[in-house]
Amino acid sequence: MPRPSLAQTLSGSATVVLTALALLLITGTQSGTGAVLIACGALLLGLTVAMFVGSSADERRRATTTALTQAEAAPGPPTAEVRLPQPTLRR
């Protein structure tokens, strides 16, 4: 499994923290069950955001890799072998 990028980690973490804080303030929940439900919802939302941030980077990386392999596989013009004169010790 590939490691998450810095953008994925930051956006996912920020989403979890801000969503949990906003929902706790909006709902005004004081029970432990409510806080656990809000935390689980915020975590799921943060994971979703992190996956979507990473998918665009993965698509760009795949497109670049595909373009490079196609460029390498494309037949180019034949290269002519150039022979240089060999140095001699004669005068």
Question: Is residue 89 assigned to a domain?
Answer: no
Question: Is residue 46 assigned to a domain?
Answer: yes
Question: Is residue 12 assigned to a domain?
Answer: yes
| DSSP calls for 56-91 | HHHHHHHHHHHHHHHHHHS--PPPPPPPPPPP-S--
Which tens digit of pLDDT belongs to each residue from 44-73?
999 998 888 876 655 666 666 665 566 565
Question: Is residue 30 assigned to a domain?
Answer: yes
Q: pLDDT confidence of 79, banded at 50, 70, 90?
A: low
Left, alpha or beta for 31 (phi > 0: left; psi -120 to 50: alpha)? beta
Domain that holds residue 41: 6-58
